[in-house]
């Protein structure tokens, strides 16, 4: 058995490595993504990993240097999960995966996308926490994670995202305090940062899940007491744990 | 049909002749029955020719008679080329002890009457075409010792009655389609030595009772669907030498009881779902020669030692979750281990130095683990090694020069590590080396000319290193080279002409280097070549005419070089599937001979200087999927023959001088996903048929002379992401059907002659993101309130139209808006307060717009302000004038200290899309301070003054608030 096994093994190695010459990182990353996704309507049919780069694949947009800058798979009826390899798309500006049935955690490696302007993961079934690594998304302007099943709190680290303009985490199972520094200080209260509909100056009642609020309980009472004036920048959106 | 008739005739004839025999024969003799048996057999080789009443039957081929010459006791017709059926009348040969009909082409079923052969000791029917069940009646053969009926098409279950064959030594049922379970009664076979059930569809558990087969030496049940645990009771099978349970669905851990099988030589459990650790008890198996536990879920560290397993030759543990390193005392000088495969585990640590004691090793595979550190210089102690696979680890440091002493080495896989340094010249000593994969490392320096001494080399892959200098001039010495990949290095200089003498070369990949010069004339000898990629180099000059001799070429990619002249030398292979010559300076017409390659799927000739028309012969390219001829100087009309290319998914003809109307047959291209005809000279109307291309994702028709209405059929393009119709002469209304293009993220209709009002249905395009550009038309009416639904929109340009009325408050909620231009309309009234973040120029040349950043809305014609608000306004004005003074001061300071910053800042804003045409109106892009404004140095003054006003506005708003509460 041994020799045929080896032979088969070597053969499979040769077959798997020699003909696919186009070992390009971004194409590989996207191909790995494809292998994690169930593509019920064949939107990924054109994703041929043997091509030199993924720039002619549908739903991919490249810049003039053949780096992927857009991934458009919104409303594409795909399910499955994301993996760390998406972090290889170093030049990606638009990650549009909204309104699908993608599950699992948001890979922390997405934080490596230094050029990302827009991350639209809304309308999926993502769970787990918002990765702290998102603090590295120095260019991020639009971050929409609403309508998922995310838990935990909004990472404090996100306050360093100086370009952040739209931050939507509504309709998740988040809890904890809303950061007040950095871009969060400037969000108008109408914006959808909070789990339920909100009006200016109102403190909200929200489901508490995996909540890490112990140190803020008293502050929260204060803010409830002064809900209308002055404290809109220090809102807490956890109720007392029941 | 004919052959069956002939067969029938033969059959009839033999039946007749046997009837003749019957009339003269005696139905109590074996010869009578043998002739009847013969009558059901087809004997093309003539083995049964002397089976005739004329000869004494004991002389007949294959027969063994009893001592008294009256009865057949043995019949051996193995491998006699017989076909036909096994007669039920074999049962009449009551003295038969051995029946061997193996390795024929017998069909039909195993007759259950064989169960009457009470004297039968051996029944061999294996390797035929028998079908049907294993007859339970075989259980009646009390004297049967050998039953081998495998390699047939038998179905059904293994009959329990097999358990009655108490004399059975050998049971072979492999390679059939048996299902059900292994009957527990098998444990009754106390004499059984060999049990072979491989390659069936047996499921269920391995019966515990198997431990009853005390004499069992060989148990093979691989390639079934057995599940559950390996029964610990198997540890009682003391005589077992071979145990093969590979490729089942066995789970649980490997029972340590297997460690009691002291006679075991071969243990194969590969391809199951076994978990837990490899039991250390297996080290007691000192007869073991081959052990394969690969493709399971085993974890923990490797606890097997060839020092104890002194006879171990082959150890395969690949594809598990094993951790730790290779045990340090795996081998000593006396070990016999010659194959060690531990690929695709989670093994870590440095290259195990003690492994160098395994001097008998011939094949070592440590690939796809987490090994790190340098390779030992004494690697050459493994002097017998032929295959060394270390790929996909994190090995670092140099490739040790001692590797040149491993004179048996044939395969060296080092790819995907972090190997640095230069390639040792000693590698040239490896005369047997055939495959050298070093790709994806960080090796540098030049490729040593000594490498070309490795005359056995067939495959070289150095992709993704930093090799520099030129390709060795003597590369032509590698006469056996089939595959050469040097892609993505820093190689320079020309291709050595001697490469043309590597006449076995099939794949040549030199892309992504700094190679220059022209293609050597010697390439005409590379007649086996089917793939050549030279993209991203600096090759120049015209292509040698003799490239036309390379008839096997299938894949060519010369893109991004500086080749000149005609592309016709590449159009002579009729086997092309991919031709990519993008971004060169090829000139002349597109050769029609390209259409000889019927299997061409991708043709990319963009960014060249090609002229004349698209050849009509391209209509023959029915497999064509990707056609990119953009950015050339093509003229004429689009040939209607292209309508035959039904598989086209990308059709890019933009930036040429193509004329005529946009053909309506485009609507028949159902696979079309991207259609770009922009920047040509197309005229006439846009064909409504385009609405049939339901898979279209991008439709670009901009920059032509199209006129008439935008066809309402555009609404059928429900997958569309990008629609650009700008810079044409489209007139009439924007079709409201466009609302059905729900996936649009970019819509440009600017610079046309569109009239009417903006359809409120545009508000349904909630995925609009990159831009909605309706500027420079003749649109009138009010801005629809519904545009406030475009929550993701980043750029909105409605400028240079005839819009009137007020700006709907809903637009103020467009939180994603980065750029806004409403200028040059007839808008009036207060703009939404959130628009204060946009510069003045967003609103210029309108009727009477007001509110920050414009002048405040005063005057009684607006809704009257409350007293407090009025007071607020007054205070604000006072406050504002003070601030203006302060602001001016501030501005002067800023101008003074910001002049130098400007250039830095504009490059800082690198994530903004920089389109020339979009210089207009950037809003307050990011945050409240002004440091991130995209600033053109010529506009600095204006920007800063806007900034001042903006700041003023912030402050007035604050004041406003304090009054409200």
Q: How close are the terminal C-alpha atoms of chain B, in Å?
A: 101
Top-confidence residue, B852 or B474: B474
What residue in A sits closest to B535 (Cα-Cα)?
Answer: A52
Contact across the interface for A139 and B314, Cβ inside 8 Å? no
pLDDT band of B571, cuts 50, 70, 90 = confident
Whether the Cβ atoms of residue B926 and residue B932 lie closer than 8 Å to each other: yes
Q: Is B588 left (phi over 0), alpha (psi -120 to 50) or beta?
A: left
Three-class SS of B748-809: ECCCCEECCECCHHHHHCCCCCCEEECCCCCCEECCCHHHHHCCCCCEEECCCCEEEECCCH
Instruction: Decide if pLDDT at A172 tops 90.
Output: no
Instruction: Decide if pLDDT at A190 tops 50.
Output: no
- At residue B328, the pLDDT reads 81
- Which residues are A143's β-sheet partners? A119, A167
What is the interface pTM, i.e. ipTM, of the complex? 0.73
Q: ∠ at Cα B318 (B317, B320), nearest 5°?
A: 90
Cβ neighbors of B817 (< 8 A, separation 6 or more) are: B793, B794, B795, B796, B923
Are A157 and A228 in a shared domain?
no
Query: What is the average per-residue pLDDT within B67-80?
Result: 89
Whether the Cβ atoms of residue B88 and residue B108 lie closer than 8 Å to each other: no
Are A192 and A78 in a shared domain?
no
DSSP B602: E
Whether the Cβ atoms of residue B705 and residue B682 lie closer than 8 Å to each other: yes
Residue A163 falls inside a structural domain:
yes
Contact across the interface for B387 and A120, Cβ inside 8 Å? no
Per-residue exposure over B233-253, b if at least 16 CB sit within 10 Å of its own CB, e if not = bbbbbeebbbbbbbbbebeeb
pLDDT band of B881, cuts 50, 70, 90 = low
Top-confidence residue, B938 or B572: B572
* Least CB–CB distance from A139: residue in B626, B674, B911: B911
Contact across the interface for B437 and A59, Cβ inside 8 Å? no
Residue A20 falls inside a structural domain:
no
* Least CB–CB distance from B650: residue in A6, A21, A56: A56
Are A152 and A229 in a shared domain?
no
Whether the Cβ atoms of residue B746 and residue B723 lie closer than 8 Å to each other: yes
Residue A10 Cα, gap to closest chain B Cα (Å): 9
pLDDT band of A200, cuts 50, 70, 90 = very low
Chain A interface, best mutation among B577, B927, B933, B954, by max A CB count within 10 A: B927
Considering its fold, how many domains does chain A have in total?
A: 2
The phi and psi torsions of A58 (rounded to 5 degrees) equal -70, 150
Q: Does A12 reach chain B within 8 Å, measured CB to CB?
A: no
Q: Which residues of B touch A117 (CB under 8 A)?
A: 911
Contact across the interface for B290 and A58, Cβ inside 8 Å? no
* Least CB–CB distance from A186: residue in B531, B910, B928: B928
Pairing verdict, β A37-39 and A78-81: antiparallel
Q: What is d(CA B27, CA B92) in angstroms, rounded to the nearest whole number? A: 10
| Most confident option among B351-360, B766-775, B934-943 | B766-775
Q: What is d(CA B89, CA B78) in angstroms, rounded to the nearest whole number? A: 19
Residue A169 falls inside a structural domain:
yes
Tell me which of B228-237, B379-388, B728-737, B914-923 is least confident. Answer: B914-923
Return the structure tokens found at B364. 């070592």
Q: Which of B503, B499, B504 is nearest to B486 (CA)?
A: B499
- Which residues are B203's β-sheet partners? B181
Q: What is the DSSP string of B671-684?
A: T--EEE--SS--EE
Residue A183 falls inside a structural domain:
no
Query: What is the average per-residue pLDDT within A2-28?
Result: 51
Per-residue pLDDT of B394-434, as tens digits, reads 999 999 999 999 999 999 999 999 999 999 999 999 999 99
Cβ neighbors of B249 (< 8 A, separation 6 or more) are: B225, B226, B227, B272, B273
Q: Find the farthest-apart pair of alpha carbons in chain B and give their distance in angstroms, rounded.
A: 138
Q: What is d(CA B694, CA B696) in angstroms, rounded to the nearest whole number? A: 6
- At residue B164, the pLDDT reads 92
CB-CB neighbours of A158 under 10 Å: 22
Q: What is d(CA B221, CA B197) in angstroms, rounded to the nearest whole number? A: 5
Instruction: Decide if pLDDT at B525 tops 90.
Output: yes
Q: What is d(CA B785, CA B811) in angstroms, rounded to the nearest whole number? A: 7
* Least CB–CB distance from A46: residue in B437, B649, B932: B649
Instruction: Decide if pLDDT at B444 tops 90.
Output: yes
Q: Does A228 reach chain B within 8 Å, measured CB to CB?
A: yes
* Least CB–CB distance from A75: residue in B290, B533, B743: B743
Instruction: Return the CA Rg of chain B.
Output: 42
Element spanning B12, H or E: helix B2-24
Return the structure tokens found at A159. 């306050």
Contact across the interface for A141 and B531, Cβ inside 8 Å? no
Query: What is the average per-residue pLDDT within B472-498?
Result: 94
Determine the 3-state secondary structure of B462 from DSSP.
coil
Record the pTM.
0.74
Contact across the interface for A58 and B363, Cβ inside 8 Å? no
Q: Does A9 reach chain B within 8 Å, measured CB to CB?
A: yes
Contact across the interface for B411 and A23, Cβ inside 8 Å? no
Are A42 and A71 in a shared domain?
yes
Q: ∠ at Cα B195 (B190, B201), nearest 5°?
A: 130
Q: Which of A96, A101, A37, A163 is nearest to B744 (CA)?
A: A96
Query: What is the average per-residue pLDDT within B709-724?
Result: 93
What residue in B sits closest to A46 (Cα-Cα)?
Answer: B649
Mean of pLDDT over chain B: 85
- At residue B12, the pLDDT reads 47
Are A169 and A204 in a shared domain?
no
Q: Does A226 reach chain B within 8 Å, measured CB to CB?
A: no
Query: What is the average per-residue pLDDT within B491-518?
Result: 94
Q: What is d(CA B433, CA B455) in angstroms, rounded to the nearest whole number? A: 8
Instruction: Decide if pLDDT at B115 tops 50.
Output: yes
* Least CB–CB distance from A166: residue in B413, B816, B928: B816
Residue A133 falls inside a structural domain:
yes
* Least CB–CB distance from A10: residue in B411, B673, B925: B411
Instruction: Decide if pLDDT at B961 tops 60.
Output: no
CATH code (residue A61): 3.80.10.10
Query: What is the average per-residue pLDDT within B507-523?
Result: 93
Query: Taking a contact as any Cβ pair under 8 Å apart, which residues of chain A between 67 and 106 contact chain B?
Result: 72, 74-75, 93-94, 96
Contact across the interface for A21 and B816, Cβ inside 8 Å? no
Q: Which of B214, B217, B218 is nearest to B197 (CA)?
A: B218
Instruction: Decide if pLDDT at A240 tops 70.
Output: no
Whether the Cβ atoms of residue B514 and residue B538 lie closer than 8 Å to each other: yes
Are A39 and A129 in a shared domain?
yes
Instruction: Decide if pLDDT at B318 tops 80.
Output: yes
pLDDT band of B890, cuts 50, 70, 90 = low
Q: What is d(CA B832, CA B829) in angstroms, rounded to the nearest whole number? A: 10
pLDDT band of B26, cuts 50, 70, 90 = low
pLDDT band of A60, cuts 50, 70, 90 = very high
Chain B interface, best mutation among A27, A46, A99, by max B CB count within 10 A: A46
Domain boundary among A173, A199, A221: A173
Contact across the interface for A18 and B673, Cβ inside 8 Å? no
Report CA-CA distances (Å) from B867 to B417, B873, B881: 76, 10, 21
Query: What is the average per-residue pLDDT within B882-909?
Result: 54
Q: What is d(CA B324, CA B369) in angstroms, rounded to the nearest whole number? A: 10
Instruction: Decide if pLDDT at B159 tops 90.
Output: yes
Residue A214 Cα, gap to closest chain B Cα (Å): 31
Tell me which of A195-209, B317-331, B562-576, B838-852 is least confident. Answer: A195-209
Whether the Cβ atoms of residue B801 and residue B826 lie closer than 8 Å to each other: no
Contact across the interface for B341 and A9, Cβ inside 8 Å? yes
Domain boundary among A173, A196, A215: A173
Give all domains of chain B, ordered by start, each with its CATH number. 29-226 (3.80.10.10), 230-374 (3.80.10.10), 400-410+420-530 (3.80.10.10), 531-788 (3.80.10.10)
| Dihedral over Cα of B397, B402, B403, B404: its sign | positive
Are A79 and A162 in a shared domain?
yes
Residue A19 falls inside a structural domain:
no
Determine the 3-state secondary structure of B954 from DSSP.
helix
- At residue B305, the pLDDT reads 80
Query: What is the average per-residue pLDDT within A174-193?
Result: 60
Q: What is d(CA B491, CA B481) in angstroms, rounded to the nearest whole number? A: 19
Contact across the interface for A14 and B435, Cβ inside 8 Å? yes
Q: ∠ at Cα B420 (B419, B426), nearest 5°?
A: 90
* Least CB–CB distance from A23: residue in B463, B926, B932: B463
pLDDT band of B876, cuts 50, 70, 90 = low
Are A43 and A87 in a shared domain?
yes
Are A113 and A162 in a shared domain?
yes
- At residue B23, the pLDDT reads 41
Residue A233 falls inside a structural domain:
yes
Block residue for tokens 């087809």: B42
Q: Does A65 reach chain B within 8 Å, measured CB to CB?
A: no
What residue in A sits closest to B291 (Cα-Cα)?
Answer: A2
Contact across the interface for A23 and B464, Cβ inside 8 Å? yes
Chain pair A-B, CB pairs under 8 angstroms: 106
- At residue B31, the pLDDT reads 84
3-state helix, strand, coil in chain B (%, to 5): 25, 20, 50
Q: Which residue range(s) make up the domain with A131?
A: 25-173
Q: What is d(CA A21, CA A17) in angstroms, rounded to the nearest whole number? A: 7
- At residue A169, the pLDDT reads 83
Instruction: Return the CA Rg of chain A.
Output: 22
- At residue B680, the pLDDT reads 94
DSSP H helices in B65-213: none
- At residue A49, the pLDDT reads 83
Whether the Cβ atoms of residue B109 and residue B136 lie closer than 8 Å to each other: no
* Least CB–CB distance from A52: residue in B365, B463, B557: B557
Contact across the interface for B911 and A93, Cβ inside 8 Å? yes
Q: What is d(CA B45, CA B40) in angstroms, rounded to the nearest whole number? A: 15
pLDDT band of B870, cuts 50, 70, 90 = low
- At residue B183, the pLDDT reads 94
Are A166 and A125 in a shared domain?
yes
Query: What is the average per-residue pLDDT within B368-373?
Result: 94
* Least CB–CB distance from B626: residue in A56, A94, A141: A56
Q: Which residues of B touch A19 (CB under 8 A)?
A: 507
The phi and psi torsions of B673 (rounded to 5 degrees) equal -115, -30
Q: Does A186 reach chain B within 8 Å, measured CB to CB?
A: yes
Residue A11 falls inside a structural domain:
no
Chain A interface, best mutation among B415, B486, B926, by max A CB count within 10 A: B926
E strand map for A97-169: 101-105, 118-120, 125-128, 142-144, 149-152, 166-168
Are A204 and A167 in a shared domain?
no
Instruction: Decide if pLDDT at B262 tops 60.
Output: yes
Per-residue pLDDT of A120-131, as tens digits, reads 999 999 999 999
Top-confidence residue, B341 or B852: B341
Chain B interface, best mutation among A18, A55, A114, by max B CB count within 10 A: A18
Q: What is d(CA B739, CA B728) in angstroms, rounded to the nearest whole number? A: 21
Q: Which residues of A touch B954 (CB under 8 A)?
A: none
- At residue A187, the pLDDT reads 58
Are A40 and A141 in a shared domain?
yes
Tell me which of B270-274, B328-332, B365-369, B885-889 is least confident. Answer: B885-889
- Put the strands of the sheet holding A60-62 in their side by side order: A60-62, A68-72, A94-96, A118-120, A142-144, A166-168
CB-CB neighbours of B44 under 10 Å: 10
Q: Which residues of A touch B341 (CB under 8 A)?
A: 6, 9
- At residue A160, the pLDDT reads 86
Q: Does A201 reach chain B within 8 Å, measured CB to CB?
A: no
Query: What is the average per-residue pLDDT within B300-313?
Result: 85
* Least CB–CB distance from B815: residue in A13, A19, A166: A166
Contact across the interface for A9 and B365, Cβ inside 8 Å? yes
Q: Which residues of B touch A14 (CB under 8 A)?
A: 435, 459
Query: What is the average per-residue pLDDT within A206-220?
Result: 30
Q: What is d(CA B841, CA A6) in angstroms, rounded to the nearest whole number? A: 72
Residue A135 Cα, gap to closest chain B Cα (Å): 16
Q: What is d(CA B854, CA B877) in angstroms, rounded to the nearest whole number? A: 14
């Amino acid at each position: 058995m041994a020799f045929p096994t080896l032979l088969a093994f070597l053969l499979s190695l040769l077959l798997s490595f020699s003909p696919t010459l186009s070992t390009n990182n971004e194409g590989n990353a996207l191909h790995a993504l494809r292998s994690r996704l169930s593509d019920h309507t064949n939107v990924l049919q054109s994703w041929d990993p043997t091509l030199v780069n993924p720039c002619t694949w549908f739903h991919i947009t490249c810049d003039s240097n053949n780096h992927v800058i857009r991934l458009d798979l919104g409303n594409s009826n795909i399910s499955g999960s994301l993996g760390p390899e998406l972090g290889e798309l170093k030049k990606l500006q638009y990650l549009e995966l909204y309104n699908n049935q993608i599950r699992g955690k948001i890979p922390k490696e997405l934080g490596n996308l230094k050029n990302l302007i827009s991350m639209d993961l809304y309308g999926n079934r993502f769970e787990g926490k918002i990765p702290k690594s998102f603090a590295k998304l120095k260019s991020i302007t639009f971050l929409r994670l609403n309508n998922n099943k995310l838990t935990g709190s909004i990472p404090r680290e996100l306050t360093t995202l100086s370009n952040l303009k739209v931050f939507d985490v509504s309709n998740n199972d988040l809890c904890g305090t809303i950061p007040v520094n950095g871009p969060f200080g400037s969000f108008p209260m109408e914006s959808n940062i909070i789990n339920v509909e909100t009006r200016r100056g109102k403190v909200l009642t929200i489901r508490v899940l995996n909540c890490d609020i112990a140190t803020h309980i008293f502050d929260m009472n204060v803010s409830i007491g002064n809900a209308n004036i002055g404290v809109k920048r220090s809102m807490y959106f956890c109720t007392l744990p029941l | 049909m004919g052959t069956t008739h002939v067969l029938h005739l033969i059959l009839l004839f033999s039946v007749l002749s046997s009837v003749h025999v019957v009339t003269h024969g005696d139905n109590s003799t074996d010869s009578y029955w043998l002739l009847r048996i013969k009558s059901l057999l087809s004997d093309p080789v003539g083995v049964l020719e002397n089976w005739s009443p004329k000869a004494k039957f004991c002389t007949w081929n294959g027969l063994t008679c009893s001592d008294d010459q009256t009865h057949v006791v043995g019949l051996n017709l193995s491998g006699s080329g017989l076909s036909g059926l096994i007669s039920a009348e074999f049962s009449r040969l009551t003295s038969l002890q051995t029946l061997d009909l193996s390795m024929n082409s017998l069909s039909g079923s195993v007759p259950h009457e064989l169960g009457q052969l009470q004297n039968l000791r051996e029944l061999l029917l294996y390797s035929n075409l028998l079908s049907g069940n294993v007859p339970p009646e075989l259980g009646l053969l009390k004297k049967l010792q050998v039953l081998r009926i495998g390699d047939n098409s038998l179905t059904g279950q293994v009959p329990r009655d097999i358990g009655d064959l108490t004399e059975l030594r050998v049971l072979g049922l492999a390679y059939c389609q048996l299902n059900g379970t292994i009957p527990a009664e098998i444990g009754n076979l106390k004499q059984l030595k060999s049990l072979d059930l491989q390659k069936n569809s047996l499921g269920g558990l391995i019966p515990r009772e198997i431990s009853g087969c005390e004499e069992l030496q060989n148990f093979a049940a691989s390639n079934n669907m057995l599940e559950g645990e390996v029964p610990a009771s198997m540890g009682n099978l003391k005589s077992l030498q071979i145990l093969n349970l590979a490729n089942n669905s066995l789970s649980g851990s490997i029972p340590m009881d297997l460690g009691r099988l002291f006679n075991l030589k071969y243990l194969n459990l590969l391809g199951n779902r076994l978990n837990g650790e490899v039991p250390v008890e297996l080290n007691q198996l000192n007869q073991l020669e081959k052990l394969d536990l690969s493709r399971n879920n085993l974890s923990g560290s490797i606890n097997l030692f060839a020092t104890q397993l002194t006879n171990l030759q082959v150890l395969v543990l690949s594809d598990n979750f094993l951790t730790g390193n290779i045990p340090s005392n795996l081998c000593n000088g006396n070990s016999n281990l010659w194959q060690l495969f531990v690929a695709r585990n989670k093994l870590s640590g440095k290259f195990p130095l003690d492994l160098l004691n395994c001097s008998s090793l011939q094949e070592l595979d440590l690939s796809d683990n987490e090994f790190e550190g340098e390779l030992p210089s004494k690697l050459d102690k493994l002097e017998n090694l032929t295959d060394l696979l270390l790929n996909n680890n994190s090995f670092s440091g140099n490739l040790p020069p001692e590797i040149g002493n491993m004179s048996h080495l044939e395969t060296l896989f080092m790819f995907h590590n972090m190997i640095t340094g230069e390639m040792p010249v000693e590698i040239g000593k490896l005369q047997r080396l055939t495959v050298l994969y070093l790709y994806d490392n960080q090796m540098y320096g030049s490729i040593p000319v000594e490498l070309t001494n490795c005359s056995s080399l067939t495959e070289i892959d150095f992709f993704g290193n930093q090799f520099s200098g030129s390709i060795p001039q003597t590369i032509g010495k590698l006469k056996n080279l089939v595959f050469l990949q040097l892609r993505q290095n820093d190689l320079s200089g020309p291709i050595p002409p001697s490469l043309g003498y590597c006449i076995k070369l099939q794949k040549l990949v030199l892309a992504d280097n700094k190679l220059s010069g022209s293609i050597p004339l010697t390439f005409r000898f590379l007649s086996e070549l089917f793939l050549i990629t030279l993209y991203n180099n600096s090759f120049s000059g015209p292509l040698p005419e003799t490239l036309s001799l390379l008839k096997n070429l299938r894949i060519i990619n010369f893109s991004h070089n500086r080749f000149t002249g005609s592309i016709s030398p590449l159009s002579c292979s009729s086997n092309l599937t991919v031709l990519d010559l993008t971004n060169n300076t090829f000139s002349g017409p597109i050769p029609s001979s390209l259409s000889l390659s019927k299997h061409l799927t991708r043709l990319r000739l963009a960014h060249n200087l090609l002229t004349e028309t698209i050849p009509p012969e391209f209509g023959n390219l029915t497999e064509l999927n990707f056609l990119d001829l953009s950015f050339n100087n093509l003229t004429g009309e689009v040939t209607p023959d292209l309508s035959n290319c039904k598989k086209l998914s990308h059709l890019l003809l933009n930036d040429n001088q193509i004329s005529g109307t946009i053909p309506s047959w485009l609507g028949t291209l159902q696979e079309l996903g991207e259609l770009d005809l922009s920047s040509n000279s197309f005229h006439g109307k846009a064909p409504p048929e385009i609405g049939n291309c339901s898979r279209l994702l991008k439709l670009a028709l901009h920059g032509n002379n199209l006129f008439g209405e935008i066809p309402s059929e555009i609404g059928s393009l429900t997958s569309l992401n990008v629609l650009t119709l700008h810079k044409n002469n489209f007139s009439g209304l924007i079709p409201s059907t466009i609302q059905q293009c729900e996936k649009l993220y970019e819509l440009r209709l600017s610079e046309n002659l569109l009239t009417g009002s903006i359809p409120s249905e545009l508000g349904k395009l909630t995925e609009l993101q990159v831009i909605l550009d309706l500027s420079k038309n003749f649109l009138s009416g009010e801005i629809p309130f519904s545009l406030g639904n475009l929550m993701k929109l980043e750029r909105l340009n409605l400028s240079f139209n005839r819009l009137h009325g007020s700006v709907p408050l809903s637009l103020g909620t467009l939180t994603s808006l980065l750029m806004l231009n409403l200028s040059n309309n007839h808008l009036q009234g207060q703009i939404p307060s959130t628009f204060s973040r946009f510069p003045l120029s967003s609103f210029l040349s309108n009727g009477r717009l007001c509110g920050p950043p414009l002048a405040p809305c005063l005057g009684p014609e607006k809704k009257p302000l409350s007293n407090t608000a009025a007071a607020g306004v007054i205070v604000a004005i006072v406050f504002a004038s003070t601030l203006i003074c302060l602001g001016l001061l501030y501005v002067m300071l800023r101008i003074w200290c910001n002049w130098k910053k400007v250039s830095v800042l504009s490059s800082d804003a690198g994530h903004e899309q920089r389109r020339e045409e979009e210089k207009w109106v950037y809003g307050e892009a990011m945050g409240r301070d002004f440091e991130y404004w995209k600033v053109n140095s010529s506009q600095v003054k204006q920007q800063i003054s806007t900034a001042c006003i903006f700041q003023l506005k912030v402050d007035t708003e604050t004041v406003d608030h304090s009054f409200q509460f």
